[in-house]
Amino acid sequence: MEVSLLLRRTGFGTTGPEIEAATGRGYEPTVEALLNPGPDPGVTATPPPDLSGEPARPPGPDDKQARATYAKQLRSRSAALTLWWLDRMVRAEQPLVERLTFTWHGHWATSVQKVRSPAMMLRQNETLRSLGRGDFRELARAMARDPALLVWLDGQKNKKGRPNENLARELMELFTLGVGHYSETDVREAARALTGWRVDRAHATAAPVPGGHDDSSKTVLGVTGDLDDRSLVDLLTARPESAAFVATRLWTRHGSAALPADTLRRLVAAYGPGRDVTALLRALFLDPAFRADRSSLVASPVEYVVGVLRALHVPVPRDGRPGRALLGTLNALGQVPFRPPSVGGWPSGIAWLSTAATKERLTFAGAVARKADLDPVARSKDRPEAAAYLLGVDTWTDRTLAALKDAAADPVRLVTLALVSPEYLVR
């Protein structure tokens, strides 16, 4: 049972065959396999979309036709990007990489709604994926220069003389330290350290503005010097509060609700002076508090939707009406990749249990169940048990078992109900 929990919290749901394979391998070897993914045919099969050739922004407000064309291009490129990532999540055979990339996306929460460049969002996504399992400082260094993040938090408008504090504040509050571990003066000084960057929309890149950086002395958290983005990130990520902050964030998304103090100590120790995210995750998955937990994390909408499609082998529609419908489902559930509601990211846990979401999940589950090949359930003598195996559910409560038995004559109805059951939703 602890192996199935591990698989659910490192991927997007799981299935009976996956649980069997991991059980055969053993818990610790499964953790190592998750942390050391080899070549993944599902990844190879889902190359990112070509988003080069960023459409030119319309010159002014007067040309309504040009504005409408631009908005339409933006919508369709944005949809292509989001559906690609969902497809990658569904087809990846070793899903931890995508799951962790999604965690980092919620951490460095950036929305295409303001950035208005799917190409920059894709670039950020690739950065989160390639640097998200190593030294957290490397990730933070790259993010401080990430074009999409610069646009999102007005970093490219942060100029010598009259700085814009947006990025500096969130870099400390939400990305590296957590609220309460810096002063207002630190924010103002850090903003000066971050001056002098511009974004090239046509190429989705960021570069220093010659002579644009405020190179006078600054003092942040007691460190004085001509701080720039690099040295600022280095000093922030070296703070002990930063280690606890990163550990807490990863526990919230992959561990459980409450974080025991001794677990936090172990996670911070594993993260160590090298800020090693993979070592932290290993410690997290091997921690007694993680292994002892029972189902307590509510699947986020993305985890839920991707998990359903994975388990039932239903492909992600990459365009057209079906593609729009899938994005509509995620929108109604309150979580569309590349569109977090604020720089604070998405909520987690019981916040996803709203009445409206229950209704939306039911509609989605029914539609997917009708598309899926449910033969393995239909052929089984014990259909509720076959559904549990299909969806990687450990055991049904008597309540759910009774509901599924009553629906057993109709595999589509049975699987739909299984997909909206509390047992499937809480992992």
Partner 1 sequence: MDTLTRRKFLLASGVTGAAALAVGASTVGWREIAGRATADPLPADANVLVLVTLYGGNDGLGTVVPYADGAYHDARPDLAYGEDEVLALDDQLGLNPAMKGFKSLWDAKRLAIVRGVGYPKPDHSHFRSMDIWQSGSPDHPANTGWIGRWLDATRPDPLRVVSVGATLPPLAVGTKAAGVALPLTEFAAPTGPIGAGVRQLAAADPADPPSQAMAARATGTLLSATAAFGPPLDAASGSSDHTDDPSAGGQSGLGRQLEIVSRCVKAGAPTQVYAVSLGGFDTHADEKGTQSRLLGELDSAVTGFLADMDKDARGSKVVVAIYSEFGRRVAANASQGTDHGTAGPLLVAGHPVRGGFYGDQPSLTSLDAGDLKVTTDFRSVYGTLLEQVLDTEAGRVLDGTRPTLDFL
The interface with partner 1 within residues 114-143 (CB under 8 A) comprises 114, 116
Output the smallest distance, CB 258 to partner 1, in A: 7
Give whichever of 116 and 275 is closer to partner 1, judged by the CB atom.
Answer: 116
Q: Distance between CA 338 and CA 104 in Å, rounded?
A: 12
The interface with partner 1 within residues 252-281 (CB under 8 A) comprises 252, 257-259
Q: Segment contacting partner 1 (CB under 8 A): 45-53, 132-140, 219-227, 245-253?
A: 245-253
Instruction: Tell me the C-alpha to C-alpha distance, in Å, between residue 189 and each of 194, 221, 326.
Output: 9, 10, 44
Contact flags string 63-82 toward partner 1, x per CB under 8 A = --------x--xx-------
Give whichever of 56 and 71 is closer to partner 1, judged by the CB atom.
Answer: 71
Give whichever of 91 and 254 is closer to partner 1, judged by the CB atom.
Answer: 254
Tokens of 52: 């080069």
Tokens of 329: 């489902």
Member of 7, 204, 220, 298 binding partner 1 (CB under 8 A)? 298
Member of 55, 134, 334, 376 binding partner 1 (CB under 8 A)? 334
First-to-last CA distance in the chain?
Answer: 11
In angstroms and rounded to an integer, the radius of gyration of the C-alpha atoms of the chain is 23
Residue 253's SS3 state is: helix
Task: Encode 412-424: b = buried (16+ Cβ within 10 Å), e = exposed.
Answer: bbbbbbbbbbebb
Give whichever of 93 and 410 is closer to partner 1, judged by the CB atom.
Answer: 410
Name the CA dihedral angle for 328, 126, 281, 256, rounded to a multiple of 10 degrees: -20
Give whichever of 90 and 311 is closer to partner 1, judged by the CB atom.
Answer: 311
Member of 205, 231, 278, 296 binding partner 1 (CB under 8 A)? 296
Residues near partner 1 (CB under 8 A), total: 82
The interface with partner 1 within residues 155-174 (CB under 8 A) comprises 157-159, 161-166, 169, 173
Q: DSSP class of residue 173?
A: I
Member of 295, 300, 329, 335 binding partner 1 (CB under 8 A)? 295
Output the smallest distance, CB 40 to partner 1, in A: 29
The interface with partner 1 within residues 300-329 (CB under 8 A) comprises none
Q: Segment contacting partner 1 (CB under 8 A): 28-36, 39-47, 181-189, 284-292?
A: 181-189
422 in contact with partner 1 (CB under 8 A) = yes
Q: Distance between CA 314 and CA 312 in Å, rounded?
A: 5
Contact flags string 182-221 toward partner 1, x per CB under 8 A = --xx-x---x------------------------------
Q: Distance between CA 261 and CA 225 in Å, rounded?
A: 36
Give whichever of 92 and 423 is closer to partner 1, judged by the CB atom.
Answer: 423
How many Cα neighbours within 13 Å face the side chain of 426? 16
Q: Distance between CA 69 and CA 75 in Å, rounded?
A: 10
Member of 318, 331, 376, 380 binding partner 1 (CB under 8 A)? 331
Residue 110's SS3 state is: coil
Q: Distance between CA 393 and CA 427 in Å, rounded?
A: 9
Output the smallest distance, CB 96 to partner 1, in A: 20
Contact flags string 86-115 toward partner 1, x per CB under 8 A = --------------------x----x-xx-
Task: Encode 336-368: b = buried (16+ Cβ within 10 Å), e = exposed.
Answer: bbbbbeebebbeeeeebeeeebeebbeebbbbb
The interface with partner 1 within residues 346-385 (CB under 8 A) comprises 346-351, 353-359, 362, 366
Give whichever of 42 and 347 is closer to partner 1, judged by the CB atom.
Answer: 347
Q: Segment contacting partner 1 (CB under 8 A): 133-141, 313-321, 374-382, 408-416?
A: 408-416
Contacting residues for 427 by C-beta, under 8 A, at least 6 apart: 5, 8, 9, 13, 295, 297, 298, 299, 303
Site of tokens 């995210």 = 277
Q: In this structure, are residues 411 and 374 in contact, taking their beta carbons and an 8 Å threshold?
A: yes
Give whichever of 245 and 290 is closer to partner 1, judged by the CB atom.
Answer: 245
Give whichever of 24 and 344 is closer to partner 1, judged by the CB atom.
Answer: 344
Give whichever of 78 and 125 is closer to partner 1, judged by the CB atom.
Answer: 78
